[in-house]
Chain A
Amino acid sequence: ETGVTQSPTHLIKTRGQQVTLRCSSQSGHNTVSWYQQALGQGPQFIFQYYREEENGRGNFPPRFSGLQFPNYSSELNVNALELDDSALYLCASRGGGEAFFGQGTRLTVV
Chain B
Amino acid sequence: AQTVTQSQPEMSVQEAETVTLSCTYDTSENNYYLFWYKQPPSRQMILVIRQEAYKQQNATENRFSVNFQKAAKSFSLKISDSQLGDTAMYFCAFMGGTYKYIFGTGTRLKVLA
Residue positions of A touching B, CB distance < 8 A? 2, 31, 33, 35, 40-45, 48, 56, 58, 88, 90, 92, 94, 97-104, 106
In the complex the two chains form, what is the Cα distance from A103 to B45 in whole Å? 7
The answer to whether the Cβ of B91 comes within 8 Å of any Cβ in the partner chain is yes
Additional A-B contacts beyond A43-B101, A101-B37 (17; CB < 8 A)? A2-B44, A33-B100, A33-B101, A42-B4, A42-B91, A42-B103, A45-B100, A48-B100, A58-B100, A88-B43, A97-B50, A99-B101, A100-B47, A101-B44, A102-B44, A103-B43, A104-B44
The answer to whether the Cβ of B99 comes within 8 Å of any Cβ in the partner chain is yes
Name the distance in Å between B39's Cβ and chain A's nearest Cβ. 9
- Decide yes or no: A42 and B106 within 8 Å by CB, A98-B33, A98-B50 being known contacts: yes
Number of A-B contacts (CB under 8 A): 53
Q: Find out whether the CB atom of A31 lies under 8 angstroms from the CB atom of B99.
A: yes
Chain B, interface residues (CB within 8 Å), range: 20 to 34
Q: Find out whether the CB atom of A56 lies under 8 angstroms from the CB atom of B103.
A: no
In the complex the two chains form, what is the Cα distance from A94 to B100 in whole Å? 10
Nearest to B4 among chain A residues (CB) is A42
Pairs of residues from A and B, 3 with the lowest C-beta to C-beta distance, nearest first: A42-B103, A101-B45, A45-B100
Q: Using Cβ atoms and an 8 Å threshold, which residues of chain A touch B45?
A: 43, 90, 92, 101
The answer to whether the Cβ of B42 comes within 8 Å of any Cβ in the partner chain is yes
Which residues of chain B from 59 to 105 have any CB-CB distance to chain A below 8 Å in the complex? Answer: 91, 95, 98-105
Cβ 8 A contact of B99, one of A2, A42, A43, A48? A48
